[in-house]
Structure 1
Amino acid sequence: MKILVINRWKLATTTYLKWLGPGHEVVLLSSADGVSADPDKARAELVGYTDAVVLPDFHGNPLVEQKALELHATYGFEAVVATSEFDLLRAARLRAAMGVAGQTVESAEAFRDKLRMKQTLAAAGVPVAPFAAVPDATALHSFAAEQGYPIVVKPRRGGGSMGVEVLRDPAELADYAARHPELGGDDGAPLLAERFIEHELFHVDGLVAHGKLVFTSVSACGSCLSYRDGVGMTSAMLDPDDPLTEPLRELTLRTVEALPTPESFVFHAEAFLTPQGDLLLNEIASRVGGGKIYEACKLAYGVDTVAACVHAEGGGFPPPEAVESPDRLAGFVIFPGRAGTLDEAPTSCPVDGVDQYRLIAEIGSDLGVAAHSSAHIASAVVHGASHRDVRRVLDDVVRWFDESTVITPRPEPV
């Protein structure tokens, strides 16, 4: 099969050729950020591809699609593989233009456009918070007047909690509007408003390969906005017999059934548990969850979700065997940066139950506030026999990391 791979991940660890298997002609169209800056390493990373084109400024660059169509004229692709959330729509557009199977534009839009997603889910009876498009300042004020404060405003096609803001009173709304001049234009701001819901947050992750559900994993996690305060975000899988596991799984599967889905895809859903005991679907994406969800699912279920999905998208059979329950439970913590200099940080973790610990930032580096919810300077993936065990290990890791790390704030300008 002739396959186009659209990539923005580090090729040193993203092994498309291995995942797709032998017998394919694979052409790589990659972000320059995904290729090593060292020429020798870069050459090694590109070995085995039938052709490889590397482009700078990958995000939003129209030359990506133009180059893909030029390559198609040469190779005649039969499949297009893209694993980043920010490449799903461009890959879907290319499939339509090339006449190849895979996730359609309709499907990608339903997962990427939060307004379309919420409209589809609400129409199907999936419980969601009250929402509305807010293309202008009048619509934003009207929504706040109708729903009351606080409200949440977010980009319709955002990701990683970037651009998400909670507005708690008219003054914060006025400040938000002043910082978003697109609310005053005639083209319409691509924004969505929702009623703020007091909640506990959960995420449900899974894999569908060739129409077959391989597994679902249900976890409790901290706030996706904690990174803005430099606070680590934790996630711990629920016990299979936890009273919330099956209801959260059923809510997610109802969500998947309500949306137009491809034959093979990974999904990451977020759900709220309200103080009244109600479950609401927050969002769902057709990609691997952020943080260390990929690693935690692989540790617990023995399934490499990205490898299996890429293999299936490339026509690979058979799909992985269904996994009803995990071998063990897993969780993770990611530690975001905060403004200052990283003076001290541990390079290894002595806490029992930790399977993987990584310090990404270099000692002495100048840190800033994390740019999105998955950005971090260090992380740990842990395991345990139960949710309580995983939570205990995570608490120990957080305490140990906080005690072992020194970030010196920048001096205030005189």
Structure 2
Amino acid sequence: MPRRALILIEISPSDVGPLYAQAAQRLGLHPVILSTDPARYNCLGAESIKAVRVDTDNLDALIQECSRLRATYDIAGITSTGDSFYATVGKLCRHFDLPGPNAASVERCRDKFVQRQLLGAAGVPMPAYRLAANAMDVERSAAEIGLPVILKPAVGSFSCGVRLCHTVDELAEHTNYLLGGKHIWQSSPRILVEEFAQGSFYWADIMGDEVIGIGTADVGDPPYFVFRGFTLPAPLTDEDHNRIADVSLSCLRALGLGWGPTGIELRWAKRGPVVIEVNPRLHCTPTPQLIQLAYGVDVVTEHIKLAIGDQWDLHKRQLHTAAARVLVPDRDGTIDSIVGESRAAAIAGVAEVKFYVEPKTPFVRKGDSRDWIGHVIAASPSRAQTEAILERAVDLIDWSITPCFDLHMDRL
């Protein structure tokens, strides 16, 4: 009898990708990664995880490779962890008659302008916005909305290319950066100009049409949006929790989502919760870890169960406060040393201490999530206790950076 396999399209080897590979193995599945660069996944353990070279931007090539793999494996399901390939997953699942997301809904959602149009038509509260194709469009749109505004690529992820602009000069500077050849576009160059919705930041994680949890985050100092910390659950009254949940679920209806995971980001503005972004996928690290620590729900495993047609279970087995502190250098240079990891990890209540970089690594801040060099995650029965555990653990960690003035300093 052939082994059951879970096909993973270009999962991130340094983010939630390993969680999917490990969860698949616990479910008795053989993870098979399809990638343009299989060597990226050597760190996951070549002896137990198969990585196959294929052009993942070519649907026909993926269909052909999956068909070839069916001669060896019983393909139980197909999924991915990133925005770029989740629509492709939906098309593959439809071709092979497997459970999966609606590809058209995912593609509409990935285009932030189309997403905004659909949300607006459904009456979902969100910031004012305009679409711009050139510097003149940007300037006119900002004048109509009123400074400050946020400029962001219409298609993108991880806050790459996103900046808050308070003045006309900042507006011109970032427009020139986005359109001047420095930003790497995932599609044709189009800029979304948005009202800056000021207020506390929240996120909601949904599976199917069920809200798993609502957390809060520290977004860091403008003009860039680099997350510094996450807490789950957010300290909300029942009424405020229900308002965020209702707005989040209205996004699913507006966008034609509702299968599998959805991550929604919001700000609590003067008029209440407004939607900043809808991601038709599971939120990245550290969200899955926080959900498991806070509620006892392994959301990655439950997503895989859904993808292979098994019964999934979001029943909460506990209620703790889980939080993560993101480690971000305050300057560019070469990271000479990292110390204190083991001491921090040994503190009771600390669930994970992880660095994404090695010593002697050159580092240039980008003004987005690529500035993260590590994280510390902790959990306990109370919010105050969890925050105290995190503070103690982070205080034990230190790294040194030697400035390198010849490093390329552009925000990428």
Same-fold call, TM > 0.5? yes
Partners of 1:222 and 1:152 in 2: CA distance: 18
Q: Which position in structure 2 is the counterpart of 1:269?
A: 264
Displacement of 1:164: 0.6
Equivalent position SS for 1:158? coil
Structure 1 residues 182, 69: closer, same or farther in 2, change over 3 A? farther
- Given the alignment of the two structures, is residue 283 of structure 1 paired with residue 277 of structure 2, yes or no? yes
Structure 1 residues 34, 307: closer, same or farther in 2, change over 3 A? farther
TM-score (normalizing by structure 2): 0.81
Q: Which position in structure 2 is the counterpart of 1:49?
A: none
Displacement of 1:290: 2.6
Partners of 1:90 and 1:70 in 2: CA distance: 14
Displacement of 1:188: 6.2
Structure 1 residues 303, 3: closer, same or farther in 2, change over 3 A? same
Displacement of 1:115: 1.3
Q: Cα deviations across residues 275-316 of structure 1 (Å, max 9, x unaligned)?
A: x36211111212222331111111111111122112211112
Displacement of 1:87: 1.0
Displacement of 1:379: 1.1
Q: Which position in structure 2 is the counterpart of 1:296?
A: 290
Q: Could you say what the CA RMSD is over the residues aligned between the two structures, in angstroms?
A: 3.4
Partners of 1:391 and 1:220 in 2: CA distance: 13
Displacement of 1:109: 1.8
Equivalent position SS for 1:42? coil
Query: Does the CA-based 8 Å contact 2:231-2:321 persist in structure 1?
Result: no
Q: Cα deviations across residues 249-286 of structure 1 (Å, max 9, x unaligned)?
A: 222122223221253x1121111012x36211111212
Q: Cα deviations across residues 33-55 of structure 1 (Å, max 9, x unaligned)?
A: 542169xx424322xxxxx5224
Query: Does the CA-based 8 Å contact 1:333-1:381 persist in structure 2?
Result: yes
Structure 1 residues 139, 227: closer, same or farther in 2, change over 3 A? closer
Partners of 2:226 and 2:104 in 1: CA distance: 37
Query: Does the CA-based 8 Å contact 1:336-1:376 persist in structure 2?
Result: yes
Partners of 2:80 and 2:395 in 1: CA distance: 38
Q: What amino acid is the match of 1:44? A: S
Displacement of 1:192: 1.3
Q: Which position in structure 1 is the counterpart of 2:38?
A: 32
Q: Cα deviations across residues 194-252 of structure 1 (Å, max 9, x unaligned)?
A: 111222111112323xxx62x52111211167796988434342247565323222221
Q: Cα deviations across residues 167-209 of structure 1 (Å, max 9, x unaligned)?
A: 22211222233334479xxx9633211111222111112323x
Equivalent position SS for 1:331? strand
Structure 1 residues 245, 391: closer, same or farther in 2, change over 3 A? farther
Structure 1 residues 229, 340: closer, same or farther in 2, change over 3 A? farther
Partners of 2:227 and 2:273 in 1: CA distance: 26
Partners of 1:79 and 1:94 in 2: CA distance: 10
Matches within 5 A, 1:168-317: 168-181=166-179, 189-208=189-208, 213=210, 215-223=211-219, 232-239=228-235, 241=237, 244-263=240-259, 265-274=260-269, 276=270, 278-316=272-310
Structure 1 residues 199, 232: closer, same or farther in 2, change over 3 A? same
The match for 2:351 among 355, 362, 369 is: 355
Query: Does the CA-based 8 Å contact 1:308-1:319 persist in structure 2?
Result: yes
Equivalent position SS for 2:133? coil
Partners of 1:230 and 1:339 in 2: CA distance: 15
Structure 1 residues 303, 37: closer, same or farther in 2, change over 3 A? closer
Number of residues paired by the alignment?
386
Q: Cα deviations across residues 340-375 of structure 1 (Å, max 9, x unaligned)?
A: 232343222055532222234333333332574265
Displacement of 1:101: 4.8
Structure 1 residues 122, 3: closer, same or farther in 2, change over 3 A? same
- Given the alignment of the two structures, is residue 391 of structure 1 paired with residue 387 of structure 2, yes or no? yes
Q: Cα deviations across residues 307-350 of structure 1 (Å, max 9, x unaligned)?
A: 2112211112x221533x84211111111344123234322205
Q: Cα deviations across residues 80-130 of structure 1 (Å, max 9, x unaligned)?
A: 322222211222344455565521222112331111211111111110000
Q: What amino acid is the match of 2:102? A: T
Structure 1 residues 188, 354: closer, same or farther in 2, change over 3 A? closer
Return 5+ residue gaps in structure 2 as ranges. Answer: 182-186, 408-412
Structure 1 residues 362, 328: closer, same or farther in 2, change over 3 A? same
Partners of 1:222 and 1:203 in 2: CA distance: 11
Q: Which position in structure 1 is the counterpart of 2:184?
A: none
Query: Does the CA-based 8 Å contact 1:126-1:255 persist in structure 2?
Result: yes
Q: What amino acid is the match of 2:191? A: L
Q: Which position in structure 2 is the counterpart of 1:122?
A: 120
Displacement of 1:78: 7.8
Q: What amino acid is the match of 1:117? A: Q
Query: Does the CA-based 8 Å contact 1:8-1:33 persist in structure 2?
Result: no
Q: Which position in structure 1 is the counterpart of 2:410?
A: none
Q: Which position in structure 2 is the counterpart of 1:15?
A: 22
Q: Which position in structure 2 is the counterpart of 1:152?
A: 150
TM-score (normalizing by structure 1): 0.80
Partners of 1:72 and 1:357 in 2: CA distance: 36
Structure 1 residues 32, 189: closer, same or farther in 2, change over 3 A? same
Aligned-pair identity in percent equals 19
- Given the alignment of the two structures, is residue 322 of structure 1 paired with residue 315 of structure 2, yes or no? yes
Partners of 2:133 and 2:115 in 1: CA distance: 17
Structure 1 residues 20, 115: closer, same or farther in 2, change over 3 A? farther
Partners of 2:392 and 2:225 in 1: CA distance: 20
Query: Does the CA-based 8 Å contact 1:340-1:410 persist in structure 2?
Result: yes
Partners of 1:249 and 1:346 in 2: CA distance: 39
Partners of 1:19 and 1:113 in 2: CA distance: 35
Partners of 2:393 and 2:34 in 1: CA distance: 39
Structure 1 residues 229, 239: closer, same or farther in 2, change over 3 A? closer
Structure 1 residues 102, 288: closer, same or farther in 2, change over 3 A? closer
Partners of 1:227 and 1:302 in 2: CA distance: 36
Q: What amino acid is the match of 1:15? A: Q
Equivalent position SS for 2:369? coil
Equivalent position SS for 2:256? coil
- Given the alignment of the two structures, is residue 66 of structure 1 paired with residue 60 of structure 2, yes or no? yes
